[in-house]
Amino acid sequence: MNMTLRYLLAVFGVVITVHYVLSFTHTDYRRATSLNSLTSHFKGVTPADITPIPDRYYPPFSNESLTVDHRANATFVILARNSDIDGTVRSIREIEDRFNRRFRYPYVFLNEESFSDDFKKRVSVLSAAKMEFGTIPRDHWYQPSSIDEKKADAGRNRMVEQGIIYGGSLSYRNMCRFNSGFFFRHPLMEKYRWYWRIEPDVHFHCDIRFDPFAYMEENNKVYAFTIAMYEFEKTIPSLWSHVKDFIKLHPEYLAKDNAMRFLSDTGGDTYNLCHFWSNFEIADMSFWRGEAYTKFFEYLDDKGGFYYERWGDAPVHSIAAALFAPASQIQFFDQIGYEHNPYTHCPRNEDTWKEEKCTCDPKRNFDYDGYSCMKQSAHSANARNA
């Protein structure tokens, strides 16, 4: 065997040895160099950027006990009625098992009526974390007196005739308006900067061993999602025209390098109906409390579309995040397996799916559904990185 060949074999042996050592000792390296990760670069456009979470956001745990040196100023927020107790218990049990037994972030429960003693008793046994229960102020929940009820009633009846889900529901509209513009103003929420929204009867399919709050805070993110989809156009027929009018009035609020490509295929002339499904969202409330979003919500609220039509908090939040924050501040968490019936996000990275003991079926991942907007999210990310 000549000297050149011996040298090449020796170098190859060293490289292989170092690769296996790094694969065993460094989670980031193992994920980045896995066959699944490497081949993904040759499959064309992927639904969205998968950002690896560095090892430092995975704190060590001793027998699953709390050993976190730093936590963000953050809380879970759960909007629920007393009648939602069974679904609420299931959601808390899952987020505790998968995440919060390690981190112990507090909970804030909000209701338009007082929570019953039974509700408080049943949820309080599920976590060692702090729990607070608040009643929503009337002017934050109920339809404002400025709304023309005759016009609003006609709009509800029209949607019922069209078979639109929640088309005739006034309480659903109250909820959408509250989630759009008021939950972060509640006195129990004012002391926090970050929130993670959880609803009754949702499922967390994978272990979440990293801290999403700490990751977002340290990486200058403002909004995180797991599922993106199209809105039902008949619920928001006039929303985009009002958005364009607002932008004309306040062009100073548009962020440089924003995510307009996620919202529009025509440079902003029309709305493609894409939004982040807001029943899961982790976000920075200083963004909602800031001047741009405050003026935006007040402008929309004055138009009455939450009641004359059926504007949801999902498109309102999504449009604001996509326009008033740089696209780089919007985070897709592929690592978090999440289900809100009937849709499921299951991690696309096979190593993550295995390591985090996911119970979801990757074949049911909504990311690849024709109704998903993950392709638009990828286009927005690609434009940002160009």
Catalytic residues: 281
- For residue 25, how many other CB atoms are within 10 A of its CB? 10
What gap in Å lies between CA 187 and CA 215, rounded to an integer? Answer: 26
The span from the CA of 197 to the CA of 225, in Å, is: 11
Determine the 3-state secondary structure of 371 from DSSP: coil
Q: Which residue has the tokens 């929204």?
A: 197
Q: Which contacts (CB < 8 Å, 24+ apart) does range 25-34 have?
A: 26/55, 27/55, 27/58, 27/355, 28/52, 28/53, 28/54, 28/55, 30/351, 31/349, 31/351, 31/352, 34/349, 34/350, 34/351
List the 74-79 sheet strands across, edge first: 131-135, 107-111, 74-79, 194-198, 281-284, 223-225, 330-332
- Residue with tokens 């949801």, as numbered in its chain: 312
Residue 328's CB is within 10 A of a number of other CB atoms, namely 17
Q: Prior bond to 342 cis, omega within 30? A: yes
Pull the structure tokens for residue 292.
């741009």
Whole-angstrom distance, CA of residue 374 vs CA of residue 275: 10
- Return the number of other C-beta atoms located less than 10 Å from residue 121's C-beta: 10
Whether 343 and 196 have beta carbons less than 8 Å apart is answered as no
Which residues face 75 on adjacent strands?
195
End-to-end alpha-carbon separation of the chain, Å? 48
Cβ count within 10 A of residue 175: 20
Q: What is the largest CA-CA distance in the chain?
A: 92
Buried/exposed code over 227-264 (b: 16+ C-beta within 10 A; e: otherwise): bbbebbeebbeebbebbeebbeeeeebebeebbbbbbb
- Write out the two tokens for 154: 């006609």
